[in-house]
Structure 1
Amino acid sequence: HIIKDAGIPRGSYYQYFDDKADLYFYLLEQVRHRAVAALQQVMAKHHGDLFAAMSEFFGLTIDALVQGPHAALYRNVFLHMDFHSASKMAGSPLAERPRGHHEIHQYLLANIDRRQLRIKSDDDVSLLIRQIVGMFMQTIGYFYSRQTKGKEVTVAELKQRTNQILDWLQYGVASKGERH
């Protein structure tokens, strides 16, 4: 099904790819391109409001991951990604990030309305972006982990969990006046 989904004639497969893993990562790169375009759209729609944009983007992404036409592919990525596969996807530890990751990170840095944030430096905003993305990845991992144990998590529950954590990041969890 992977070769068919890629839209590549079966006879041409070996001409373009070394193995199924190579094709798999090609498909994931195509998915990433669509995700980047969607993120740029929601950032523009929300005029740089990082939290509103990420809430909408994560909602769209959850729909695609859980209910979209490639849901089985995404499930396999989250459940079966190992160190070797992740290393291949990320390149060598000494290499720079793939160009697309750098581009989207730079896009976010340039387009987030920092007037809405207490942090201003690129380093601080970069750390916030990594925290938000990490939270989302953990939430998706939670979904698939629960699923493999036979415990149902609905799309609505997954979205609510994501929005709850975004809310915690945006507004904090300490009582008013509590500061450390």
Structure 2
Amino acid sequence: MPKPTFFRLADEKRSRLIKAAYDEFTRAPFAEASISNIIKDAGIPRGSFYQYFDDKADVYFYLLNRMKTSATMQIKQAMDVHDGDLFAAMRSLFAGMAKALIEGPYAKFYRNIFMYMDFHAASKMSTPPPPHPHGNGEIMDFLVDRTDMTKLRVSSEEDLRTLIHQLMGLFMQTIGYYYNRQSAGAVVDEAALLRRLNQLLDWLEFGAGQPR
């Protein structure tokens, strides 16, 4: 995580450094990204960079943690809006996230994360390794606490946690499908991605088999 000196920077300088880091990790996957490019774009000396971060992995994980904080806020808002209805909240949440991943300002940065799974490479360079960016204990606990279980066919907290894992895995797999199709030259627009997401959510919520 950033050193205390980073948070004491003037807002403009801190924002410039964050933007330079996003731009560099958008331009190239983690292994090919360069501190030299970050400090050049940010307009700071190399020595100043190391007053704010330990290394390239440190600033990379800081960006990932910013993403996690944003996602956590969106999840909490969706659950509040839908009054604990897990599937309704996930539908609206996934729609917003899909839009951000495809056409949002950080879309190419997200693509590098998914396509290269850069956090694995970054963790090898960190001593000690930082928390895994997909660590979701706080999110999981919130969802378990906030979900209205009367709307679900689950009988225990353990079952609910399993269901939530399935929902999150469904979203990650669908985004992986989108990037892989894109890399193969196929056109998958936002509408097509949402149709796939909603179909999978329907199968998980209502079942895929015909009634007997």
Q: What TM-score comes out, normalization by structure 1 length?
A: 0.85
Q: Does structure 2 conserve the Cα–Cα contact (< 8 Å) formed by 1:2 and 1:24?
A: no
Q: Give the residue type in structure 1 aligned to 2:19.
A: K
Q: 2:66 aligns with which of 30, 35, 38?
A: 30
Q: Deviation string for 1:102-124 (max 9, x for gaps)?
A: 11111100110100111021110
- Per the alignment, residue 7 of structure 2 pairs with none
- Per the alignment, residue 13 of structure 1 pairs with 49
Give the gaps of 5 or more residues in structure 2.
Answer: 1-15, 23-41
Percent same amino acid at aligned positions? 48
| CA 1:172–1:105: 2 relative to 1, 3 Å | same
| CA 1:97–1:143: 2 relative to 1, 3 Å | closer
Q: CA deviation at 1:21?
A: 2.5
Count of paired positions: 175
Matched, 1:142 2:170: no
Q: Does structure 2 conserve the Cα–Cα contact (< 8 Å) formed by 1:79 and 1:144?
A: yes
Q: Does structure 2 conserve the Cα–Cα contact (< 8 Å) formed by 1:3 and 1:10?
A: no
Q: CA deviation at 1:24?
A: 1.5
Q: 2:188 aligns with which of 153, 156, 159?
A: 153
Q: How does 1:31-110 map to 2 (within 5 A)?
A: 31-81=67-117, 84-85=120-121, 101-110=136-145
Quote the Cα distance in structure 2 between the aligned partners of 1:96 and 1:25: 9
Q: Does structure 1 conserve the Cα–Cα contact (< 8 Å) formed by 2:144 and 2:157?
A: yes
3-state SS of the aligned residue for 2:136?
helix
Question: 4+ runs of 1 displaced by more than 4 Å?
Answer: 5-9, 95-98
Q: 1:121 aligns with which of 156, 166, 178?
A: 156
Q: Give the residue type in structure 2 aligned to 1:40.
A: K
Q: Does structure 2 conserve the Cα–Cα contact (< 8 Å) formed by 1:147 and 1:153?
A: yes
Quote the Cα distance in structure 2 between the aligned partners of 1:38 and 1:175: 35
Q: 1:4 aligns with which of 5, 19, 27?
A: 19
| CA 1:48–1:115: 2 relative to 1, 3 Å | same
What is the alpha-carbon root mean square deviation over aligned residues?
3.0
Q: CA deviation at 1:85?
A: 3.2
Give the gaps of 5 or more residues in structure 1.
Answer: none
Q: CA deviation at 1:63?
A: 0.9
Q: Deviation string for 1:108-145 (max 9, x for gaps)?
A: 00110100111021110000000010010000000000
Q: What TM-score comes out, normalization by structure 2 length?
A: 0.73
Quote the Cα distance in structure 2 between the aligned partners of 1:116 and 1:92: 43
| CA 1:16–1:83: 2 relative to 1, 3 Å | closer
